[in-house]
Amino acid sequence: MPLSLSILDQSTIGTGRGPADAIQNTLAMAKLADEWGYARYWLAEHHNSESHAGSAPEMLVAAIAATTRRIRIGTAGVMLPHYSSLKVAEQFRVAEAIAPGRIDLGLGRAPGSDGRTAFALNPRANQAADEFPAQLRDLLGWLGDGLVENHPFRMVRASPQVETRPQVWILGSSDYGAQVAGYFGLPYAFAHFISDTGSEHAMQVYHETFRPQPDQAGRLAAPHGALAVFALTADTEAEAWRIFQSRALSRLMRDKGQYIALPSIEEAEAYPYSAHDLAHIERMKAKALVGAPEQVKAKLEALAAAHNVQEIAVLTACHNPAHRQRSYQLLAEVFGLTPSLDAAA
């Protein structure tokens, strides 16, 4: 079975450009992804961030759903502990009304922000993460499963009452999300771009704990895994590594606890790196999914095989939007994705 290729977009803010530019770049990229044959377009959630503008992925899902034709659109993800399960269910029922059968609802448990912001979003933030499984149960109930018999809000209906329902995914970067996804019989995506530590083990845990639920709407008869990874390509290997310098400096600063806007290539080239910094970047490059198109394709296929997953969602952050678009276009070509009929016309 060929590897399915999707896109993960954080609406990354570049130096010299504002958050509104990042959102507009996301909308433009989604239209191209639809034309080029990508399977899904997922939007991330970050709050109080100088690096990412995507604080409300459900809004972007609706906007992209209304301006695309075939690609699935979803979140990677909605950080459920911040919100009411009923409200999330209603948001994604509306999205299904906009694009029936094309909506993914990826759910995460991590805050996607700093601790103070988590409490600003939900004053019960210190307890909410522990309630994630119960929240998920309620959300699935309002999406169509029905609430448990003694639920205090059993008579409350999530509206609009549409015929289709979103595909719910569990997202994570540890064994916890893998076990939740396995227990509920849902697809699971591991955030490899955040940390590759324990990624193969987490996917193994998912397969081992998976409970088949083929008779339950929205559940699976067999496990279905995906990896969300950072990858970058260009017309030549040298050009790909030149563009990667922005990502390398951004990641270096993040590892130092500094979350900055994505620097330009020129800013990265001019940065006064210490010997320790350079050694850190070399270790980063040794594992990076960067290179010419055929090289990146081989790396992605090997990674998918090692994790026993059927899908890869690619995150590509570039200071120049044209570099990002070209990277995704080259990946679509090298993987033989099928362009939409609209694009060919």
pLDDT along the chain (345 residues), means of 10: 94 96 98 98 95 96 97 96 97 98 96 86 90 96 94 95 96 95 97 91 97 89 97 98 97 93 97 97 96 98 96 97 98 93 53
- Model pLDDT, residue 345: 42
Helices (H), the chain: 19-36, 57-65, 85-98, 115-121, 125-128, 132-140, 175-184, 199-209, 237-255, 265-270, 275-287, 293-307, 321-334, 341-344
Is the Cβ–Cβ distance between 265 and 243 less than 8 Å? yes
What is the residue-wise DSSP string for 197-243?
TTHHHHHHHHHHH----TTSTT--SS--EEEEEEEEE-SSHHHHHHH
88-107 burial, b for 16+ CB within 10 Å, e for fewer?
A: bbbbbbbbbbbbeebbbbbb
Residue linked to tokens 């290729």 = 5
Q: Are 37 and 340 in contact (CB under 8 A)?
A: yes
Owning domain of residue 263 = 4-344
pLDDT at position 342, please?
60
DSSP state of 22: H
The reply to whether the predicted model has a pTM over 0.85 is yes
Q: What is the DSSP letter of 122?
A: -
In angstroms, the first-to-last Cα distance of the chain is 29
Hey, which residues does 36 pair with through a beta bridge? none
* CATH code for the domain of 140: 3.20.20.30
Domain count for the chain, please give it. Answer: 1
Peptide bond before 160: cis, by omega within 30 degrees of 0? yes
**Residue found under tokens 């604080």:** 55
Other C-beta atoms lying within 10 Å of the C-beta of residue 236: 12
